[in-house]
Amino acid sequence: MTDTDHLDELGAIKDAARRGPDPGATERQHAKGKLTARERIELLLDKGSFRETEMLRRHRATGFGLEQRRPYTDGVITGWGTVFGRTVFVYAHDFRIFGGALGEAHARKIHKLMDRALAAGAPLVSVNDGAGARIQEGVAALAGYGGIFRRNTRASGVIPQISVMLGPCAGGAAYSPALTDYVFMVRGTSQMFITGPDVVRTVTGEEITHEGLGGADVHAGTSGVAHFAYDDEATCLEEVRFLLSLLPQNNRELPPVERSGDPPDRLTEELRELVPLDGCVPYDVREVVREVVDDGECFEISEAWAANVVCALARLDGHTVGIVANQPQSLAGVLDIEASEKAARFVQFCDAFNIPIVSLVDVPGFLPGVGQEHEGIIRHGAKLLYAYCNATVPRVSLVLRKAYGGAYIVMDSQSIGTDVALAWPTNEIAVMGAEGAANVVFRKEIAEADDPEETRRRRVKEYRAELMHPYYAAERGLVDDVIDPAETRAALVSALEMLRSKHADLPRRKHGNQPQ
């Protein structure tokens, strides 16, 4: 054979690998409203940047007819490319081959790619569309999942890991996305569950559809497993690209800086009217966020789950920041179990990847109730406290309106280590609201008064004047500055610029034992 013959043979083999073994498989995938693995990678990565690895890998399993079916790639596409010019590693299950099911060779391709991503210090994106473990390969397939889980854990906090769910993900396979930083899903085609509807029906008698059990909206709004849900794959993958643009390559780098032309000292005069003076009147804190950040652009995490706290990535003067904000529009902005868990994990993520944290505080306390107490609000609330106390990135907190009780402490108060504590002149920082405090402190006097209601009103007014005026915390050094709301953006940018070179070391230890 000549060199040309060898090259022709190589080209023919690679063309066959790209097409897949079944000519009709691509049409069937498209008929379901789904793209193929290669089409998805093309949308995710910069045009022409993908370098595929192990395209010619084939399994060596025998039995159950497997020896007669040995397609190239073994049902998973692996490699690397760029997103906005920066290296990203990606693997994508090819549902056209064995339904994307994971076998030994399939798993080893993923293991090698994950090891390479960790060594290179670059993000890893998994595009999931598979039927779980390849049953014909038995325990070898299960061991393959174990290798993935171990590598997910080793890479946690070292490189960003993103799971994109574009098909079914059942059984043990669902644990890999749960170990990654962010999970994206698409409505109508993505499902995740440990046991499917048939098993649920057999064991519990409950009737439910695949979508109702583990669809995108279920996990984005009820379970909190998914952070984002979209209507189509193209939009989903474009949003993955945007998220990657906000993140550093690894935990040893800072996030990329992208100047927008939005002046760092721009006045935010609308904030003077945006937040009502009456602490009982709700408003959308996302409007505050949009007014402050560069060009009003932010990327909200888990928008539909635990809506009483907003977590978002945005830029201030071109630098990526993580924003945690109480949301008075939902449950009056109280902290409950789900909000505490959502914010805690976000704070941990930001700290792991050198992203400064800005906390916008307007919190009346923790949600009271038997259910909350019995379900462990103490340990769940402690997760957020632990995350803030453990964070070494620059931290700035701003009290917009009220901050009461233990929730004030937990929301990155000065006492737990925030670097700069700011407040608006409308702030109320106190142990509790004036009405509740007066009822406790002056309970006996009110009960014995000739006019209890008048006595209560007088004592409430007195308590508010003595202990809840906007400058009480500032007078005691618990707030560094009380600022005009119109100066909010400038004050935050200035504080973060000052903290840019912050360095803080935690005590030497293997790891902490955070609340569970």
Q: How far is CA 95 from its chain centroid?
A: 27
Q: Tell me: pLDDT of 387 over 70.
A: yes
How much is the average pLDDT of 262-286?
94
- How many alpha carbons fall within 13 Å on the CB side of residue 504? 16
- The tokens 């007819």 sit on which residue? 65
What percent of the chain lies above the pLDDT cut of 70?
Answer: 94
361, 411 Cβ separation under 8 angstroms? yes
Q: Look at residue 433 in the predicted model and tell me its pLDDT.
A: 66
Of 325 and 503, the one with more pLDDT? 325
Average pLDDT for the chain = 90
Q: Look at residue 438 in the predicted model and tell me its pLDDT.
A: 65
Catalytic (active-site) positions: 171-172, 406-407
Beta bridge partners of 325: 310, 360
Q: Tell me: pLDDT of 187 over 90.
A: yes
Q: Look at residue 63 in the predicted model and tell me its pLDDT.
A: 65
Question: Which tens digits make up the pLDDT trace of 61-82?
Answer: 656 666 666 677 778 999 999 9
Angle, vertex CA 83, rays to CA 79 and CA 84, nearest 5: 150
Question: Which tens digits make up the pLDDT trace of 115-140?
Answer: 999 999 999 999 999 877 776 677 87
Q: Enumerate residues 6+ apart whose C-beta is below 8 A from 369.
A: none
Q: Six-digit token pair at 41?
A: 């990678």
Of 373 and 444, the one with more pLDDT? 373
Q: What is the reported pTM?
A: 0.92
How much is the average pLDDT of 346-355?
98
Q: Look at residue 70 in the predicted model and tell me its pLDDT.
A: 66
Q: Tell me: pLDDT of 295 over 80.
A: yes
- In order of their start, the domains of the chain are 3-246 (3.90.226.10), 270-427+470-499 (3.90.226.10), 432-469 (no CATH)
Of 4 and 509, the one with more pLDDT? 509
Q: Where are the alpha helices (DSSP H) in 261-356?
A: 271-274, 285-292, 337-352
Q: Look at residue 16 in the predicted model and tell me its pLDDT.
A: 75
The one-letter amino acid at 367: L
Q: Look at residue 190 in the predicted model and tell me its pLDDT.
A: 92
How much is the average pLDDT of 382-408?
95
Q: Look at residue 443 in the predicted model and tell me its pLDDT.
A: 77
- Which CB contacts under 8 angstroms, 24+ apart, belong to 274-283? 274/485, 275/362, 275/400, 275/401, 275/424, 275/426, 275/485, 277/426, 279/364, 279/401, 279/402, 279/428, 279/433, 280/332, 282/328, 282/329, 282/332, 283/328, 283/329
Of 301 and 28, the one with more pLDDT? 301
